[in-house]
Amino acid sequence: MDLVFPSHTTAHTHHPSPLILGVDGDEDNLLLLTYIMRCIGCSLITTNNGSDVFSFVKNYQPDLILLDIVLPGLSGVEVIEQLKRDEKTKNIPIIAVTGLAHPEKRDYLLEIGCEHCIIKPYLIEDLENVVSHYVNKHYSLTTAKKLVN
């Protein structure tokens, strides 16, 4: 089951809010991400399958992707590699949210294109801080480009 919350507008501001794609094989993790993202003023769309990421990216053009690495369908590593090879998607920031805590694995994820790696279980405050940093950075650039065009 995919949880999709496609609204780009927060209830409080009536301004477009950053859109995040959450990808995790565990529905409970996706539900937690939904609550966290709502609390920090972001819209969230979700999928529990790595193979679905590309259609979600094409249809919704998220500002950030929170990606688990162990997924049904394509693995998170395969998803990262494909997104970073594509000119249309290579600049979308990807944050790995994973239980793979080995330092070499984290280094590898950063090498292939993740901007950051958060290890499960994580502190909600840590996730909020990392998401806010990357969303503000990417969202500001994307909004500026849209205004210029």
Helix (H) or strand (E) holding 84: helix 76-85
Full-model pTM:
0.83
Sheet containing 116-119, strands listed edge to edge, beginning at the edge strand earlier in sequence: 43-47, 19-23, 64-67, 94-98, 116-119
Structural domains of the chain ordered from first start = 19-148 (3.40.50.2300)
> Can you say how many angstroms the Cα of residue 106 is from the centroid of all Cα atoms in its chain?
17
**What is the chain's pLDDT, residue by residue, as a tens digit (149 residues)?**
444 444 333 333 334 789 999 999 999 999 999 999 999 999 999 999 999 999 999 999 999 999 999 999 999 999 999 999 999 999 999 999 999 889 999 999 999 999 999 999 999 999 999 999 988 876 565 554 444 44
Alpha-carbon gap, residue 44 to 18, rounded angstroms: 8
* Total residue length of the chain: 149
Instruction: Provide the angle, in degrees to the nearest 10, between the axes of the packed helices 53-60 and 76-85.
Output: 40
Spatial distance between the Cα atoms of 132 and 124, rounded to a whole number of angstroms = 12
